[in-house]
Amino acid sequence: MTMANPPTQYHHHGRFQVAGGVLPDAITAYRTYGYHGNPCIVFPTCFGAKLDSQVYMVGEGKVMDPTKYFVVTFALFGNGESSSSSNTPTPYNGPYFPAVTYEDNIRAQYAVLQKFGVKKLFAVIGFSMGGQQAYHWPVMYPEFTERYIVICGSARTSPHNKCFLEGPKAALVASKDFENGHYKTPAEIGVRAFGRVYCAWAYGQTWFREHKYTMGGLYPDLASFMRERWEGRFADNWDANDLLTLVHTWQSGDISKIRHEGDLVACLSQIQAKGLIMPSKTDLYFPPEDSVNEMSSLTSGTARLVVIDTVWGHTAGGGSNPVDDAFVQATIKAFLEE
């Protein structure tokens, strides 16, 4: 059943310290589904997502059913809805927007949940950058967080992931209309270049080999697919400096920085919340090997690994196709009902 989107709400934090400085009036954009007295599930945005995107697993009959749960979807700082370089007034606008981390986002989200009187977080479910946020919750708020579900994400952004992100980032900042972040009109050339470089890693090798970029006949060839689905989507929806804010958040992701001085093994071994880790078999952003390595450090019995057997690469976890979406939702639903 498709659910109509509720209105976006905005929580004003006032003066809010972030990794790169301070925001005089930080704002977290969010939406709520269901009754706030029900068990709470947090579903944060990933890279390239707005709050409108956070409905593919929310709705009656879906894994995040508002008749059973109080679902809160959160927009990341930098996504253009929460505080971002594109919507923050002078003197923190544009390239002057401070760097933010996952920790900053989780602190802000926690503050919103307190407004609703949430005493326990039943579960946090996240895909990609949302999955990295999900990993942060049981580390930052161990007594508050009961379950975390990581879909195509990681506890620490790996070197190969950081390296990949330098590609679209370099294409953006080197564009002639980026102007070192001081552009007066949208840096469309740079944003288009970002989208084109980014798309090559989004799908598995097998997916491209089978020509599934046609996506049911929507695109007649690969050139149309790249131009329309990737260049067009980024050009229509994204500000260049906002993209760079999100890239920094992604690249700096590391739960072991919170209180373990970079010792990821120690950090993972102390997580007590129940975890479900769901990598995609063909993910080029967060390959399943990373999740296997993390599982070796998670406390025995508290977390389980379920690999999504798919050719859809990273997108398999984001509701990109019915088969993978059904598998992901059924697996999560069973986990939540245990």
Distance CA 273, CA 85 (A): 34
Distance CA 132, CA 277 (A): 11
Catalytic residue among 82, 83, 85, 128: 128
Q: Annotated catalytic, 11?
A: no
Catalytic residue among 65, 104, 242, 283: 283
Distance CA 28, CA 74 (A): 7
Question: 12: helix, coil or strand?
Answer: strand
CB under 8 Å to 219, separation ≥6 — which residues?
213, 225, 228, 229
How far from chain centre, in Å, is Cα 178? 25
Integer angstrom CA distances of residue 80 from 33, 75, 83, 319:
21, 8, 7, 22
Catalytic residue among 314, 320, 324, 325: 314
Question: 45: helix, coil or strand?
Answer: coil
Dihedrals φ, ψ of 312, to 5°?
A: -85, 10
Q: Annotated catalytic, 283?
A: yes
Handedness of CA 336, 57, 305, 164 (dihedral sign): negative
Q: Annotated catalytic, 314?
A: yes
Distance CA 238, CA 186 (A): 9
Question: 326, exposed or middle or buried, with CB in 10 Å at 0-12, 13-18, 19+?
Answer: exposed
Distance CA 222, CA 195 (A): 14
Could you give the residue numbers annotated as active site?
A: 128, 283, 314
